[in-house]
Amino acid sequence: MKVLHFFKTYYPDTTGGIEQVMFQLCQGSRAFGVEGQVLTLSPDPVPERIQVADHPVVRVKENFNLASTGFSLPAFARFKAMAAEADLVHFHFPWPMMDLVHFATRHGRPTVLSYHSDIIKQRTLLKLYAPLMNRMLGSMDRILVASPNYQRTSETLKPFADKTVVVPYGLDETAYPQVSPERRAHWQQQVPERFFLFVGVLRYYKGLSTLLDALEGVDYPVLILGGGPQEQELKAQAERLQLRNVRFLGRLDDEDKACLLQLSQALVFPSHLRSEAFGISLLEASMYSKPMISCEIGTGTTFVNIDGETGLAVPPENPQALREALRRLWDNPEEAARFGVQARARFEALFTAQRMCERTVEVYNQLV
């Protein structure tokens, strides 16, 4: 079976949670007889066709970008040609231009849509987009959502409950690099013996401003791994609060990330808006047997991290509650270790890439 994945961004141009899910689906579904390929946009699509691991990626020119939405005229013709050779098209939501391409090309293929997030930031534009969005969702044969929490709390998804299937995201542990003794020794010299770690793109919905407020007046070491649009603003806040226990590491490669996750005391993941639909970093922490701190926002973050079982869940945008959660894990290492063991058990039961791919391919087979 040939499956065409379509989304506005992909490796190697960008890295993020949706890209990671697409990568795992393309790679892991091969074991079930599915050949995945990706069509995406790029500001510099040279060469147009590249190979990412074991699957092909075709990039077309992004002509302009408006409200985080890339637009491309060449995408219409390229999508139509690639869809004609595919058995099924797998869309990744949200991306309004994708809806236009779907209807304009009249490709006639079975369709699956992964609903990665509600539209949160562009509320005004959503009023204009809503009719097209609802038509798009209504036209899909199946809609995949990553957690029962998100399905239950998304107003957008409620009219489409009869075609919505919960398929949790998953990771392939073997795809992560083995940390060399040299790299481990390097970081052991660079970081405190115990520290909290944040991993992710520094975006508006990550709740990092609240984390910095929570650290005022305490001395828990926190490493922030990742870059993004909020980086300078957050550094200025840390300087204003005179935080000497926070270190911004910027973007690092996968081996460094794996090493820091292994060395950390716990992952702190304070996302406070529904734009954070799941949290791949939480899965990574679970995979490495680490306890977690996250916020209860009605999304997959508290489907991965169960309060009192795999870590702690606190109210969003509440520095005092976040500070208390940090204190509890710091002062109770035995409890933190127990949370980590239980997080790993939950990962093995629910969040492996093999499980995600197997359940997704079951949906494909129902439609083809």
Instruction: Give the chain's domain count.
Output: 2
| Same domain as 133, residue 23 | yes
| Same domain as 149, residue 223 | no
pLDDT per residue as tens digits for the range 308-318: 999 999 999 99
| Averaged confidence pLDDT in the chain | 96
| Same domain as 357, residue 304 | no
pLDDT tops 80 at residue 88: yes
pLDDT per residue as tens digits for the range 219-250: 999 999 999 999 999 999 999 999 999 999 99
| Same domain as 184, residue 327 | yes
| Same domain as 319, residue 233 | yes
Local structure of 304: helix, strand or coil: helix
Predicted TM-score (pTM) of the model is 0.91
- What is the model's pLDDT at position 169? 97
pLDDT per residue as tens digits for the range 336-355: 999 999 999 999 999 999 99
Matching residue, tokens 């040939």: 2
Q: What is the dihedral of CA 37, 41, 45, 47, to 10 degrees?
A: 0
| pLDDT band, residue 126 (cuts 50/70/90) | confident
| pLDDT band, residue 279 (cuts 50/70/90) | very high
Higher pLDDT, 41 or 119: 41
- What is the model's pLDDT at position 7? 98
| Same domain as 90, residue 154 | yes
- What is the model's pLDDT at position 67? 78
| Same domain as 109, residue 34 | yes
**Hey, which residues does 2 pair with through a beta bridge?**
35
Local structure of 230: helix, strand or coil: coil
| pLDDT band, residue 15 (cuts 50/70/90) | confident
Which DSSP state fits 72? -
Which DSSP state fits 216? T
Domain with residue 164: its CATH number is 3.40.50.2000
| Same domain as 46, residue 76 | yes
pLDDT per residue as tens digits for the range 29-68: 999 999 999 999 999 999 999 999 999 999 999 999 887 7
* 249 closest CA partner among 235, 236, 262: 235
| Same domain as 359, residue 284 | no
- What is the model's pLDDT at position 69? 86
| Same domain as 127, residue 39 | yes
| Same domain as 297, residue 149 | no
The residue range of the domain holding 92 is: 2-172+352-367
- What is the model's pLDDT at position 127? 86
Cβ-in-10-Å burial (0-12, 13-18, 19+) of 93 comes to: buried
Which residues lie closer than 8 Å to 25 by C-beta, 6 or more apart?
Answer: 5, 36, 90, 356, 357, 360
| Same domain as 210, residue 142 | no
